[in-house]
Structure 1
Amino acid sequence: LDRRQQARLVQACLGLTEAEASNALAKAIVQAGGVLGSDAVEAVTAEKKQIIRKSGLLEYYDNTELIDNVGGLDTLKEWLRKRVRAFTDEARTFGLPAPKGILLVGVQGCGKSLIARSVASMWRLPLLRLDAGRLFSSLVGSSEENLRQAIKTAESVAPAVLWVDEIEKGFSGVGSSNVSDAGTAARVFGGFITWLQEKQKPVFVVATANDISNLPPELVRKGRFDEIFFVDLPNAAERADIWRIHLAKRNRDPNQFDLTTLAMASEGLSGAEIEQAVIAGLYEAFDANRPLTMNDLLDVLNETVPLSTMMREELEALRAWARQRARNASTQR
């Protein structure tokens, strides 16, 4: 192992007991044929996976998504790339603090959750998902204790990425908490944002939100997150990139298709809708026992009503909000 790999391995072992770290490294040596190789980080991560599963409050996700499978969002990708070594001793010596996290706000189906999964793979860190609904319990004081236990578990396997999906739904009852649940939701939310502000352990939080009208204002003020990114509908170049990714993912040669025409024909579609168009086109070709053609995809697009058309007013309100409060995840169009 070179010096940088050694530092990464030491970081990966943080949060494990001596016995747990020893077992993980011994397993890595056996699997590598008697040498301690670069795969040792993955072995240590697997040990942490068992700890997460025992907690019951957090979900562990395998890092299978690659940042290259995310179409567009070049500004956000570059921001993340610059922080690949952010949790190393090298960064601390340079005077850099560990990054706190990001809030991704934007249109449904445009890659927010995909980014959360791919950043953990990019940084080679464990990915944990916090479902706020799991925190709440009927017993007095249990919800607050569940939050403390979830935070303790996340910090015990740090450095790690903590993904909080659709955070506005998880804490949607905060405004009426004093009436509806005797203040439980407000106390849990207060504990969470205080931890966001004050946390010392290297847990990088990736929170996503679709509905900004339900976002508590305390969550978006400066200091909670390093940056708030707005994820808009993909532009023409990004749509062509998304078509290329999903065609290649399903064993089709993107060079056999006119990606520019597909990008123009799919204006207003999200990345998720483009993926579904590819799948629908494949079903048409499969049913007819022939290869997938451009006409299959164009026919599907002609029958598709984009979510952006059905929710035009909400989308315009979201863009107006983001212009004043967030950074665009893509290069300005």
Structure 2
Amino acid sequence: RGCVSIALERLVREEAQSWSAAHRGARVRSGRRQLQRIIQNLRGVPEQDARRLVRSAIWDDGALTEADLPRLNKARFELLDLSGAVHFELETARPDDVGGLRRFKAWLAERQAAFLGRGFSAGLPPPRGVLLLGVQGSGKSLAARAVAGAWGVPLLRLDMGTLYNKYYGESERNLRSALDLAEHMAPCVLWIDEIEKALASGGDDGGTSRRMLGTLLTWLAERSAAVFVAATANAIEQLPPELMRKGRLDEIFFVDLPDAAVRADIFAIQLRKRALDPAGFDCAELARVSEGFSGAEIEQAVVSACYGAAAAERSARQDDMARAIAGTRPLAQVMAESVQALRDWAQGRTVPAD
């Protein structure tokens, strides 16, 4: 691994020197940390292809920065021909893009160096993964994206539904192939969305679900590649107990509906995404009148308000937001019993994400 890193670093320096010679000695803009991330994400790529990718990134703007990582990772994914049930997700998220989740963000920050094998954490076992349990629309998928964004590694999404095959043994073989492909992209985050839908035990599938579960559990226990699993789930009653045992994944986080302070943060984030200055809105008041809203419902309220304002040929205002909120019945009201049951189960069994 060290030899591979040295060879890649030499390759990057050669391409940087070539660019510099063609630009009257100007230096390629980059930092040691950014350079190490780029080198790390080029592992497994043939030298000729790695050189081409680095050259393209440098000649684009005379720099090698973290802004180049998504494009490099996507090209690497395509070069390795990772297709089928494993999808490369170009769009990740920064922790600042996610409102709340303080404990989860701190947990990630503590384990980043260990996952990447850097500093005093070198030699520690890398984190294996988490299960994010919570109410629909509470931000579990966004949190999964934020893991990759925070650590600067590729995000792959495993579509479990496409793995199933009517012929005996083919579904498990498809799953093993998908996991092998994810290992080729290591270090990376493997996002398995709504994992309970794929692994729920059923008596009418000839035991396929149980065999798929066994294949996944074996891989979770035995894998050595730096593949961090971020699994999300909405229905805890459908999850196999075997998946919940310690050692399969590191932790189970419960993503609850946001409190007033977090709702205000989410409103500010969503307003900025739409080029609206949060200072022009009373986010605390919007948070107060949106009690019980999930992050997704807040986003839709902001979008709805912006549509209405655009139809009136003006920018969205506080009263537009208030009307959009008033016209929404949040899931916490429509399915109050189910939401409370999930909260009751999570109490004492999971770690609050916020």
Length-normalised TM-score, structure 2: 0.85
Cα distance, 1:41–1:252 mapped onto 2, change above 3 Å = closer
Separation in 2 of the partners of 1:202 and 1:190? 21
Q: How far off its partner does 1:10 sit?
A: 3.6
Question: Aligned runs of 1:215-234 on 2, under 5 Å?
Answer: 215-234=239-258
The answer to whether the 8 Å contact 2:267/2:299 transfers is yes
Name the residue aligned to 1:292.
316
Separation in 2 of the partners of 1:37 and 1:287? 40
Name the residue aligned to 2:295.
271
Q: Is residue 69 from structure 1 mapped to residue 93 from structure 2 by the alignment?
A: no
The answer to whether the 8 Å contact 2:92/2:148 transfers is no
Name the residue aligned to 2:138.
110
User: 2:324 is matched by which residue type in structure 1?
Assistant: V
More moved, 59-68 vs 216-225: 59-68
Separation in 2 of the partners of 1:241 and 1:5? 29
Cα distance, 1:193–1:257 mapped onto 2, change above 3 Å = same
Aligned counterpart for 1:239 among listed residues 259, 263, 276: 263
> What SS class does the counterpart of residue 84 from structure 1 fall into?
helix
Separation in 1 of the partners of 2:228 and 2:292? 32
Q: Deviations over 1:184-240 (max 9, x none)?
A: 221111101111122100001100000111011111111111111000000010000
Q: Is residue 60 from structure 1 mapped to residue 88 from structure 2 by the alignment?
A: yes
Cα distance, 1:45–1:317 mapped onto 2, change above 3 Å = same
Name the residue aligned to 2:56.
27
Q: Is residue 311 from structure 1 mapped to residue 335 from structure 2 by the alignment?
A: yes
More moved, 145-154 vs 279-288: 279-288
> What SS class does the counterpart of residue 348 from structure 2 fall into?
helix
Aligned counterpart for 1:168 among listed residues 175, 179, 196: 196
Name the residue aligned to 1:134.
162
Q: Deviations over 1:136-159 (max 9, x none)?
A: 112222211111110110001100
Name the residue aligned to 1:204.
228
Q: Is residue 97 from structure 1 mapped to residue 121 from structure 2 by the alignment?
A: no
The answer to whether the 8 Å contact 2:85/2:160 transfers is no
Separation in 2 of the partners of 1:249 and 1:38? 21
Aligned counterpart for 2:307 among listed residues 271, 283, 286: 283
Q: Is residue 14 from structure 1 mapped to residue 14 from structure 2 by the alignment?
A: no
Cα distance, 1:51–1:137 mapped onto 2, change above 3 Å = farther
More moved, 203-212 vs 118-127: 118-127
The answer to whether the 8 Å contact 2:195/2:232 transfers is yes
> What SS class does the counterpart of residue 114 from structure 2 fall into?
coil
More moved, 230-239 vs 139-148: 139-148
Q: Deviations over 1:76-130 (max 9, x none)?
A: 1111122332333425864311110111000111110011112212211111000
More moved, 161-170 vs 20-29: 20-29
User: 2:37 is matched by which residue type in structure 1?
Assistant: R
The answer to whether the 8 Å contact 2:253/2:353 transfers is yes
Name the residue aligned to 2:174.
146
% same residue: 47
Name the residue aligned to 2:5.
none
Cα distance, 1:22–1:218 mapped onto 2, change above 3 Å = same
Q: Deviations over 1:6-47 (max 9, x none)?
A: 5434422223334443433343344455x8666665564233
Q: Is residue 186 from structure 1 mapped to residue 215 from structure 2 by the alignment?
A: no
Separation in 2 of the partners of 1:255 and 1:4? 34
Give the total of aligned pairs: 325
Name the residue aligned to 2:346.
322
User: 1:169 is matched by which residue type in structure 2?
Assistant: K
Q: Is residue 258 from structure 1 mapped to residue 287 from structure 2 by the alignment?
A: no
Return the structure number with greater relative CO, CA threshold 8 A, min gap 6. Answer: 1
- Post-superposition, which runs of at least 4 consecutive aligned residues in structure 1 deviate over 6 A? 35-40
Length-normalised TM-score, structure 1: 0.90
The answer to whether the 8 Å contact 2:131/2:252 transfers is yes
